[in-house]
Amino acid sequence: MLRKKQTKFIFVTGGVLSGIGKGIFAASVGNILKNRGFSVNIQKLDPYLNFDAGTLNPNEHGEVFVTDDGAETDLDLGHYERFTNQSLTKRSSIMSGQIYSAVFDDERKGKYLGKTVQVIPHLTEKIQDFVMEASKGFDIHIAEVGGTIGDMEAVHFIEAIRQLKRKVGEENVMYAHLVYIPYLEASKEMKTKPAQSSVRELLALGIHPDIIGVRHDRAIEKGHLKKIALSADVNPEAVVPLPFVKRVYDVPSNLEKSGLGDYISKNLGLRSLRPKKNGWEKMQQNIKNSKETIKVGLIAKYLSNEDTYKSVTEALKAAFWANQKNVKIVWIDSEEIEKTGTKILDGLCGIVIPGGFGDRGTEGKIIAAKYARENNIPYLGLCLGMQIAVIEFARNVLAWPSATSGEFDQNSKKQVIHIMPEQRKNMAEDNYGATMRLGAYPCILDKKSKSYKLYGADKISERHRHRYEFNNDYREEFTEAGMMLAGLSPDHHLVEIVEIPEHKFFVASQFHPEYKSRPDYPHPLFVGFSKACLE
Ligand code: GLN
């Protein structure tokens, strides 16, 4: 689209507080630029010293998002994919651990022979390599730096993006900084001082912002924005209000309305294209038309942070909106079911059992799966939710009371879900990481299955993140008793989807379909589930 194929860069930083929506902002900027016809990549630069998000605690950090190429990433990548309807790669998620590790590798290989290895220039150059590599071939590359400005852990990233401006040319770079304006109850005022200080901190690190996004939960006046523009030394059009919205999917159109698309195009010398009409608007219209609300139970275990199941909740919402309905997600603690029984499940139109690790709460989930199966209530199992469905079926239909997963009881003789023999070797060698099946795998659907009807194709590809698998020794017993192996790996070795054909909707997948659902293109399995809930 550009006259000269030069990638343009937009770097997003944030200040004042964490959690003010930098990820949504970066994703929304990606959305509006893509909608103007440009190819866009988005990348998260995370200051944590972890190598990736795989081992982060979901209660603290929310969902681990998985890309097609098997990277375990920060949940912001989920926002990026949903807002740009684009599958990203491992290049889009960089944590400090990866940067350090690459520098250490170089050092051992003798690449810095004779030199002292330093944060500047070695670490910063490595960051720039990762950014440049990810940006290759795109019209626009957006990189979001995690954390807030001034964080000790992020300085190498800030320094790296500062230097990049000279390397790729001033005219090809914009810096966006997000700030927050708090409201002070005592004086009944919105306060811009923290925002001003945050900009000053950015300036002190050598970065002059080109865009200031101003998050606020209460109404602000033009004067507030002016004040920020003045202190940040930018034109008033560079200051974009970001009011609290009930639905994040309204942010892109708000940004367009405030002129950000034109402003970025002008500043980066992009041939300004008129935003196109697209599926996004249809989705927004559907949301507006959604009046009725349907209750769906999410039987979970990490309940202190709703972000843990972010892709699942967004996939559910999208599927129901496509039917012009709202979904009310009822959060149910599976341990509560263990204590008090299925009473809390009464009145639900559907039940979802999402992914999870470890055996805590799994008995409650098994009870919930039984309740859904016996009462003909739509059931959608996602990864662990599929394993639970299989265990429940074994215990209560096949009458194998001791059936379980190797994850819950290593010594059990009735592991209907288990570690495959070829994986066991890695486990024995303490190479725990290598036992995980990660990323996209192909799957062939049985043409008689519900899944096949929903996908409208017999060959699909979906993302995985698990260790345990359906135990092939028991295939015959399951199918004879009425569980259909609706999806298999192309070599027929792995069971990827199970269904109960007799049931209104009982579909459970070993993969995570939620990762590939988009607000404007809801996932077929979620759509099927939502339709069944509406019946
Ligand atoms: N704990 C299960 C496994 O490792 C399921 C994982 C998941 O739900 N993502 O196989």
**pLDDT per residue as tens digits for the range 185-205:** 999 999 999 999 999 999 999
Residues 125, 131, 134, 140, CA torsion sign: negative
Lowest mean per-residue pLDDT among 264-278, 370-384, 390-404? 264-278
| Predicted local distance difference test score (pLDDT) of residue 301 | 85
Give the DSSP letter of residue 153.
Answer: G
Helices (H), 154-276: 155-168, 193-204, 222-232, 251-257, 260-268
Q: Which of 65, 334, 387, 435 has most ligand 1 atoms within 8 Å of CB, for mutation?
A: 387
Q: Which atom of ligand 1 is nearest to the CA of 357?
A: 1
Atom of ligand 1 lying closest to residue 417 CA: 10
Q: What is the pLDDT of residue 2?
A: 45
Alpha carbon separation from 285 to 29, 288, 290, 449, 524 (Å, rounded): 21, 5, 9, 32, 20
Cα gap 158→173, rounded to integer Å = 14
Verify whether ligand 1 is closer than 6 Å to residue 417 (CB atom).
no
Q: Which atom of ligand 1 lies closest to the CA of 382? A: 8
Q: Confirm or reject: Cβ of 122 under 6 Å from ligand 1.
A: no
* Domains of the chain, first to last: 8-271 (3.40.50.300), 283-534 (3.40.50.880)
Q: Is 514 in the pocket of ligand 1 (CB under 6 A)?
A: no
What's at 473, amino acid-wise?
D
- Quote the ligand 1 centre to 343 CA distance (angstroms): 27
Q: Check pLDDT > 80 for residue 28.
A: yes
Q: What is the pLDDT of residue 108?
A: 95
pLDDT greater than 60 at residue 223:
yes
Q: pTM for the whole thing? A: 0.95
- Cα of 372 vs centre of ligand 1, distance in Å, is 21
Three-class secondary structure of residue 19 per DSSP: coil
List alpha helices for 341-380, DSSP H: 362-374
Burial environment of residue 26 by CB neighbours within 10 A (0 to 12, 13 to 18, 19 or more): buried
Atom of ligand 1 nearest to the CA of 358: 1
Residues marked active site are found at 383, 512, 514
Ranges 105-114, 276-285, 322-331, 523-532: which has the least confidence:
276-285
Residue 354 CA, ligand 1 centroid: distance in Å = 10
**Distance from Cα 396 to the centre of ligand 1, integer Å:** 22
Residue 466 confidence (pLDDT): 96
The residue among 323, 321, 322, 392 whose CA lies nearest residue 351 is 392
Helix (H) or strand (E) run with residue 30 in it: helix 22-35
Q: Whose CA is nearest to atom 7 of ligand 1?
A: 355
Q: For ligand 1, is residue 365 a contact (CB within 6 Å)?
A: no
Instruction: Categorize the per-residue pLDDT at 431 as very low, low, confident or very high, splitting at 50, 70 and 90.
Output: low
SS3 118: coil
Q: Give the rounded percent of residues in the chain with a pLDDT score beyond 90.
A: 87
Q: Which pLDDT score, from 0 to 100, does residue 434 have?
A: 66
31: tokens are 């959305």
Give the single-character DSSP code of 411. T
Residues 6+ apart with CB under 8 A from 124: 156, 159, 160, 163
Digit-coded pLDDT (tens) for 125-140: 999 999 999 999 999 9
Phi/psi at 146 (5° precision)? -70, 165
Question: Is residue 432 scored above 70 in pLDDT?
Answer: no
3-state helix, strand, coil in the chain (%, to 5): 45, 20, 35
Write out pLDDT tens, residues 39-95. 999 999 999 998 888 877 777 778 999 999 999 999 999 999 999 999 999 999 999
